[in-house]
Structure 1
């Protein structure tokens, strides 16, 4: 028997909704798209959709979106130039799970491998390495946040008896720097490393890097063995989600059958969200490749505008080539709190997601100008 919520509980929900609406209006420091409308998909929320097990193997649990999930994975496998007969993947709970999966595959293929990743790598990677009990070495970064290729080469040379596992950043958290997988492959060839695995963490930048010119070296054609992206970032979703794409030949080496669910145990979590593939499929179908490219170009245009306008008022703003993240010295705390701007080592950034407008940039600039004038008066 269910009861009605009390007036206090009703008020709690009303207040939470008001807070969420208000806080969503004012954030530019995190890579989350909020320009989506999934009203057409609301009826699906009445059902317990669960894409149990491997999306490419039928399950005895039939309330899900497996067919749409397979289409989503295929879309990204094609976008990331995977070989037509050698790709596999699934919709994850987010980029961190995709990275965990890539490292898990790498460990199963190279149990004695050494993992190399830069100091600008997302904080979740160290947690993943701890969970998987993998040996690892942190590589220094260049000023822009990209991995230091000389340090990488020298460090691998000192440990060249071990298989090499690379965690490449396709857009670092703070500066959106992209590690060049082509250059990394060249280092491995130069050092005659025969056993290696390259995983690309493309949480934000990997979602749109295929649309920019010149195209960054980040995908399967460039030498990646697996790629993880987030779905709630560039594409947009009401809940965190992501996609991981790997070589099917590698995934086959770790697959095992589970009679209970009538499927294969190839994913990190057994029960998987059946709604998020639906949201991603909907966005991909509505926008298509052309629409996603236009979306990326619009973000880049706003980022260029923000960078130039900040520089005009004397702020040392900069960004990496073809990045939508604009870096600048951290503004006062009240501005950072209002616009939810992350800060690290004296720097903040705004991430020009599809929902960020020039009008919002102008509002932020006006507030920064006022703070500069006030500072000069005191």
Structure 2
């Protein structure tokens, strides 16, 4: 099939919608909120090119951008993370881009920097270290997926003459563990490692943690003096329906001093050149249009659903666990899982994640399917003698019947 002639693609779009609807009920293993839709943006999303090329802090030669709203999005998220007035940031294509920007900044500041991250960190961290040709040290974790601070201290001590670029995690892939950020800073202080950058990959848990009351929040923001930068996803919790992220620095990175490109009229401060202005629209519509109080209610509802799921699974003998602030329920990888349900794992644990669109009815349906699978009663089997007897020709005559 070629694209030389026009085709009616409406059947394809209908099929894609049907496929998405078919799997929506059983796809509870991956993070991504879909409970907020954005029909009010239809004209802007489908009829206008919006390109936020370059720095969000200058307009450049073009006028078809949403940079003013991008700066507002950065400030809303920066406020949630208790960033100081010196903050700097931009809307990324996803959290991996934010971590790459932070590691590149670390490399430019400290060419001898070593990357430290936990064994539970996102798989892209190692790939980024390789791409940037930075040495990587993988730190062990505890049984729940948190970085082992004693192991970190030992590895830092072995290389205390070199700069450290530490990638901490707020919301690990399988268990949604949150690394102890103050303890990471303290380890650096004890070893007098002043040439350091501490970046938090808060793709999953950053915004939910920031939205809960202060006395309940693990310290994963700029209130911890040593934190340099934080990246969080937009599509995971804010229901932007397209991958994106928001990168926040405590102070402007080296890239912020880059001169403007004559062709674009804007500074080359981001990983990519052209950036989607539509992602900014979706982020702003979710954050400002819905309001933070509504998002706090969504966080509470997700945690309640996660706790409900945890208890229901325990009720059928599954050793389910969750962190107090997590949407994720994880359990030892079982021999089998109920058919149709999309529940990923890493060989040690499997997990489901209670995003805002996940309901208790779905949890009940999963638990019932799991219970039927575990307690399935096999069909009665006839004894071997009776089966042999019935299978033999003229069995009755040969036995004298």
Asked if TM exceeds 0.5, the reply is: yes
The equivalences for 1:323-362 within 5 A come to 323-331=326-334, 335=338, 338-362=340-364
1:318 to 2:321 alignment: yes
Normalised to the residue count of structure 2, the TM-score between the two structures is: 0.89
Are 1:79 and 2:69 matched, yes or no?
A: no
CA distance in 1, matches of 2:149, 2:7: 59
Deviation readout 1:100-153 (Å, 9 max, x if unpaired): 111111111111111110011111111111111111100111000000010000
Q: 1:253 to 1:49 in 2, by over 3 A?
A: closer
From 270, 274, 295, the counterpart of 2:273: 270
> For 1:326, what is the secondary structure of its paired residue?
strand
- Change in CA separation of 1:266 and 1:252 when aligned onto 2, cut-off 3 Å: closer
Q: Are 1:188 and 2:188 matched, yes or no?
A: yes
Post-superposition shift, 1:17? Answer: 2.1
Residues in 2 aligned to 1:309 and 1:10: alpha-carbon distance in whole angstroms: 42
Q: 1:98 to 1:248 in 2, by over 3 A?
A: same
- The size of the alignment, in residue pairs, is 373
Deviation, structure 1 residue 26: 2.4
The RMSD of aligned alpha carbons is: 1.8
Partner of 2:216: 214
Cα distance in 2 between the residues matched to 1:326 and 1:177: 11
2: distance between equivalents of 1:332 and 1:33? 29
Shift of 1:247: 2.9
Confirm or deny: 8 A CA contact 2:228 2:251 kept in the other structure.
no
Q: Secondary structure at the match of 1:220?
A: coil
Match of 1:39 in 2: 39
Please list every run of 5 or more consecutive structure 1 residues that lacks an aligned counterpart in the other structure.
Answer: none
Instruction: Name the CA distance, whole Å, in 1 between partners of 2:311 and 2:47.
Output: 47
By how many angstroms is 1:376 displaced? Answer: 7.8
1:292 corresponds to which residue?
295
Please say if residues 307 and 326 of structure 1, whose CA atoms lie closer than 8 Å, have aligned partners that are also in contact. Answer: yes
Alignment of 1:241-260 (within 5 A): 241-251=244-254, 255-260=258-263
Q: Where does residue 108 of structure 1 map in the other structure?
A: 108
Structure 1 residue 237: Cα displacement: 1.4
TM-score (norm 1): 0.94
Contact in 1 for aligned 2:116/2:166 (Cα 8 Å): yes
Cα distance in structure 1, aligned partners of 2:291 and 2:16: 34
Match of 2:369 among 357, 367, 370: 367
Match of 1:236 among 230, 234, 239: 239
Deviations 1:216-269 (A, max 9, x none): 111111131110011000111121111111133324565232111000000011
The alignment status of 1:261 with 2:264, answered yes or no, reads: yes
**By how many angstroms is 1:325 displaced?**
0.5
Distance across 2 between alignment mates of 1:211 and 1:164: 30
Q: Secondary structure in 1 aligned to 2:57?
A: coil
1:5, distance to aligned residue in structure 2 (A): 1.6
Q: Which moved further from structure 2: 315-324 or 267-276?
A: 315-324
Structure 2: distance between partners of 1:376 and 1:114: 57
Deviations 1:74-97 (A, max 9, x none): 00111111111x111111111111
SS of the aligned residue for 1:360 comes to helix
Match of 1:62 in 2: 63
Distance 1:35 1:331, change over 3 A: farther
Q: Which runs of 5+ in 2 are unaligned?
A: 381-401
Aligned to 2:96: 96
Q: Is the 1:105–1:254 contact (alpha carbons within 8 Å) kept by the matching residues of 2?
A: no
Secondary structure, counterpart of 1:64 in structure 2: coil
In the aligned structure 2, how far is the partner of 1:76 from the partner of 1:253?
19
- Distance in 1 (CA, whole Å) between partners of 2:276 and 2:306 is 33
Correspondences of 1:7-26 after superposition (within 5 Å): 9-26=9-26
